[in-house]
Amino acid sequence: MTGPDEAPDEDPDLFGVRPYAVTNGRTAPSTPLDLMSLVRATGRGPSQLGIEHAQALKLCQAPTSVAEISALLRRPVTVTKVLLSDLIELGVVIAKFAPSESYSNDPAILEAVIDGLRRFV
């Protein structure tokens, strides 16, 4: 039976496990990851992984952003970062960080981006 806030086609176990239980109470990742960081599986398999870690590892078969993995896992970004940090520490995932030069505060670039987005609307 679904509650008033649930759609009948949603996974009933989606939020059955609280985020703090998934991360063992940890609220900060051990590896500094941002939303644009790309993660990829190394091909080395660990002996045992929890369900959440195994799901995250499965999504890392090709280079994938932290934001995309978070969306696919349907978990908060912080939880995803903690899971991915664990996988990095185990050596089963590697991360490529976006260079800081890729972020720009140049008003001309920001205006060009805004203009481009307006053309799509």
Structural domains of the chain ordered from first start: 1-99 (1.10.10)
Q: Is the pLDDT of residue 120 over 80?
A: no
pLDDT-derived band of residue 12, with 50, 70 and 90 as boundaries? Answer: very low
Q: Give the range among 33-42, 67-76, 99-108 with minimum mean pLDDT.
A: 99-108
DSSP per position, 45-88: PPS---HHHHHHHHHTSS-EEHHHHHHHHTS-HHHHHHHHHHHH
What are the structure tokens assigned to 91, written together?
């050596």
93 three-state secondary structure: strand
How confident is the model over 100-111, as pLDDT tens digits?
655 567 788 788
